[in-house]
Amino acid sequence: MTMLPRLTLVLGGARSGKSRQAETLVASMPPPWRYVATAQALDEEMRERIALHRRRRGSSWETHEVPVDLAEAIGRLSSHPAPILVDCLTLWLTNLMLGEHDLAAAMAGLEAALSIAQPPIVLVANEVGLGIVPENALARRFRDQAGLLNQRLAAVADRVLLMVAGLPLKVK
Query: Known catalytic residues?
Result: 53
For Cα atoms 104, 153, 21, give the angle at the middle one, nearest 5 degrees. Answer: 130
CA distance 135 to 157: 32
Q: Where are the beta strands (DSSP E) in the chain?
A: 7-12, 33-37, 61-65, 84-87, 121-126, 159-164, 167-170
Report residue 160: phi and psi, to 5°: -130, 130
